[in-house]
Structure 1
């Protein structure tokens, strides 16, 4: 049964829309949260689903955790219920990102469950296409996101920080893996999944390693540099493969952000943007407010516009402000307002 057969919701779809500000970095689209997002002037969300198997959104109580079902494959029915829940609030579901690592850990590491996990990933991407969800963000970092401390920034707001000189050198997955192994596994993943994504009309979006160290826990971090991203995009060429462009991670790399934007923007590889920044670069950095990091945020916004980026920008990690929630809704509201203000100024200049 197709999404249209179930009764599609008439919300304008992403193609042809301008660069715009959305919200993300949460899993439960409660009525309260969706109202807050609309109050901020955003009409797009990106859901970060790194904890859940097949969530039953149709029966999800407001302001509560959703019940779970399934064993690692998101059904078309539940994905459609998710999309309808969001669109009933007048918001577009722009992307889903970060399935649980257990969905494809053996795919990344070449384990015994690789074929089984690939089968479920393919079904999930097919079901996303059937449900009308256009973007699927993923990472290639089995060791996950690493931070070593919590620090304070302006006014006592708290942020996460990383010091690579203090990381545990033990293996997270039992042994040391080689870079050649990870690249071989990654190419196999792309050759298996990209044809399914192309047929389903879903775009796959690669997120950088965070932090972009050479290795963590004995596992090479492939998505750690400009050159590695070029290689990742060229391994299996496809219009349906591009970047989940996390500015904070690129800032951590100490790469030339402007050069990166021009290169991938001119090739239509910037699918959506995580807009944040850090102070410092690997091996030592800390997150901070959008206006106090390494790069010129307005120059970055102008360059994104110049290369023709027309997707969604969401506040990514933000400082935890006084009275904030576990979703850091106040920190995200600050960043969303800052981005909307810069976008207004940009449009005024034009």
Structure 2
């Protein structure tokens, strides 16, 4: 497995020379400065690729080449947006970047309610608190239908929190919920989010699936021609939020996606944290079922609460059996190698580390500190070494 590291380019306080000290050899990067829907020009791609290679790395995965929201909504004439996406794919392939991670979450990317929840022995982590999300939806956003999405005890806690909260508390909650998207994206205040949600009225699960199927049919043939691999990232959290459907949240969802376009180019980003936040998901089993279509892995762990809350655990200390999951990936790598596949080496990265020691207050992207991810990489490296030695 190829050790890789997510780097946010000019937006990142962590430098490539610092990343080199982790031992990782691959960089996961994107042109976050390009607005959604516009073509990633060859000049910009090549400049970034040259910068990464000059520092001694391979640019192994694009994360992400974003999908315009109009495509997700199926709104209007989409021919130019699809053409732009395919051109960006071609420009990336020409630069030698052949794996694209993307998601199909409407409007928001990963969502948390707390960016600095305390960890038992010191440090902080990302946390999704069900009652705070309910407070935001019901009492701040004023979405009455949200009451159907939360059990009564969570609603009671939500009201209690909202009633005692002050403006700073509500601003911090909004900031946390809006923090999942880096680069050229829209952040909303409450009124702006309310207006944005109106554009999705009537978009149910079936409609979103139909729009996703259309996206796959538009881009997967191009991926095949270019020798590229597309790999969808699961929903985070793996549940409907803000009244918007999520369609990449469960084993059944992934089964549907793989069947919707039965091509090796239509693959999966195996994110153990996103899938692990859904209590019905057996993450190692999902990985085993779709091992031949896993082109990238995010390895992290979560600890869940009965009310739907969850938080980022240490990489080997959560609800997912990371040793069993890693064994699935190593077994698949061996199968690919024996079959003579050039893509036998699956890139992975440690995901969403804790803020520890001098990470705290360092101003890195939420979930992407240096020391916490380095700890995760070291732990995962040990698991891989042990499993490889006993294979």
Output the TM-score relative to the length of structure 1. 0.82
Alignment partner, residue 381 of structure 2: 340
Regions of 4+ moved over 4 Å: 29-32
Q: 1: distance between equivalents of 2:228 and 2:47?
A: 18
Say whether 1:317 aligns with 2:282.
Answer: no
Query: What residue ranges of structure 1 are gaps of 5+ in the alignment?
Result: 1-18, 55-69
User: Tell me, what secondary structure is at the counterpart of 2:358?
Assistant: coil
Secondary structure of the corresponding residue to residue 229 of structure 1: helix
Q: Which residue of 2 aligns with 1:74?
A: 40
CA drift of 1:71 comes to: 7.3
Matched, 1:135 2:99: yes
Question: How much has 1:36 moved relative to structure 2?
Answer: 1.9
* Partner Cα separation in structure 1 for residue 323 and residue 128 of structure 2: 26
Structure-1 separation of matches of 2:214 and 2:356: 43
Shift of 1:182: 0.2
Which residue of the other structure, out of 146, 163, 177, is the alignment partner of 2:111? 146
Alignment of 1:164-179 (within 5 A): 164-167=130-133, 168=137, 170=143, 172-174=196-198, 175-179=201-205
Distance 1:248 1:291, change over 3 A: same
How far apart in 1 are the matches of 2:316 and 2:384?
Answer: 14
Q: Alignment partner of 1:189: what SS?
A: helix
Structure 2 CA distance for aligned equivalents of residues 151 and 32 of structure 1: 22
**Runs of 5+ unmatched residues, structure 2:** 144-193, 334-343
Aligned residue number for residue 256 of structure 1: 282
Aligned match of 1:276 in 300, 303, 327?
Answer: 300
Task: Give yes or no for contact 1:147–1:163 (8 Å, CA) kept in 2.
Answer: yes
Within 5 Å, give how 1:1-350 maps onto structure 2: 19-24=1-6, 26-28=8-10, 33-49=15-31, 51-53=32-34, 72-100=38-66, 103-112=67-76, 114-144=78-108, 145-149=110-114, 150-167=116-133, 168=137, 170=143, 172-174=196-198, 175-213=201-239, 215-254=240-279, 255-265=281-291, 268-280=292-304, 283-308=308-333, 310-324=345-359, 325=362, 326=364, 327-350=368-391
Contact 1:25 1:316 survives alignment (8 Å) = no
Given that residues 95 and 136 in structure 1 are in contact (C-alpha distance below 8 angstroms), is that contact kept between their aligned partners in structure 2?
yes
Aligned equivalents of 2:59 and 2:11: distance in 1? Answer: 10
Compute the RMSD of aligned alpha carbons.
2.3
SS at match of 1:313: strand
- Answer yes or no: is the 8 Å Cα contact 1:107–1:115 preserved in 2: no
Report how far residue 139 of structure 1 moved.
Answer: 0.3
1:316 and 1:220 map into 2 onto residues whose CA distance is 25
Q: Alignment partner of 1:220: what SS?
A: coil
Farther-moved stretch of structure 1 (324-333 vs 109-118): 109-118
Say whether the 8 Å CA contact 1:107–1:113 is kept in structure 2: no
1:156/1:217 CA distance change after superposition, 3 Å: same
Quote the Cα distance in structure 2 between the aligned partners of 1:156 and 1:232.
40
Query: Contact between 1:148 and 1:161, CA under 8 Å: does it hold in 2?
Result: yes
What is the deviation of 1:296? Answer: 2.3
Larger Rg: 2
* Aligned mates of 2:295, 2:262 — CA distance in 1: 15
Q: Aligned pair in 2 of structure 1 residues 157, 196: CA closer, same or farther (>3 Å)?
A: same
Q: Match of 1:141, SS?
A: coil
* Residue correspondences, number: 311
Q: What CA deviation, in whole Å up to 9, does each residue of 1:15-42 have, x standing for no partner?
A: xxxx132111533398972222222111
Question: Shift in Å at residue 307 of structure 1?
Answer: 2.8
